A = this chain, B = another copy of it.
Amino acid sequence: MNRAFPLHRAPVGFGPAPAVRRLAALHRLDERARELLDRAVERRRLFPARREVVREGQPVDGPLLILSGWAARVRHLHDGRRQLLSFLLPGDLIGNCRQRSAVSVSTVVTLTEAATCAAPPASASPALAEAYALSAAAEEAQLLQQIARLGRMSAEERLLDLLLEFRERLDQAGLAAPDGFALPLTQETLADATGLTSVHVNRMLQQLRRQGDIVLKGSGLTLRDVKHLCDRVGRAVVGG
């Protein structure tokens, strides 16, 4: 599973860490903000894949920042069914926006091995505060899109739309090429995110491949015509 140079941790061009890059993409970060981040990043905490980072209903002492790897907010139904609520990528915050509530509203699990650190307090930098606010807004937009996906899209559309969301978000962190990125998820995980079965995810991915919409090589995903694919699911073409 560990290759010498995991694709999903390899910045396309080197430069600031992906998490910093993503926050800077949301709002211009001044020296102070970057310094705070650099300092916070030193106290990183590593998690193996499939580990719970925070559990629903448990107290949390402050927002966390994802530095590397993929994680997800997840909800479990009483009978074992599982639904991924949203994905957390480098530069995303866990437990942003709910200021005083000391309790997590959802469980967060890592999907790959991942690193986090405590997010520097917004109060220490206006630029950072602004980036956090925009991050919270983006997160809400993603939740709304997830609802529209699950409620009204076909299986093929759900997958396409989700992949396009990944591209857009990874691009902010400098983790995507214009037409592709590393997708270190199992089909089972994609199924839990799209409300499908892994069997059907498999068939839909095959269909997308046959149609020439995507190319999958190992964990490397290429989108063959981003603009056209965005049109197909009614999504704004962004970045890349």
Interface residues, chain A, with chain B CB atoms under 8 Å away: 73, 75, 77-79, 81-85, 97-101, 105-106, 130, 133-134, 136-137, 140-141, 143-148, 150-153, 192, 194-195, 234
A14, chain B: closest CB distance, angstroms? 32
Which residues of chain B are within 8 angstroms of A194 by Cβ–Cβ distance? 151
How far does the alpha carbon of A31 sit from the alpha carbon of B184 in the complex, in Å?
A: 55
Count of this chain's copies in the oligomeric assembly = 2
Quick one: which of B105, B145, B152 contacts A81, CB cutoff 8 A?
A: B152
A145: nearest chain-B partner, CB-CB: B75
Which residues of chain B are within 8 angstroms of A143 by Cβ–Cβ distance? 140, 143-144, 147
Which residues of chain B are within 8 angstroms of A152 by Cβ–Cβ distance? 77, 81-83, 195
Known contacts A105-B137, A133-B99, A137-B101; is-contact A75 B148 (Cβ 8 Å) = yes
Which residues of chain B are within 8 angstroms of A134 by Cβ–Cβ distance? 101
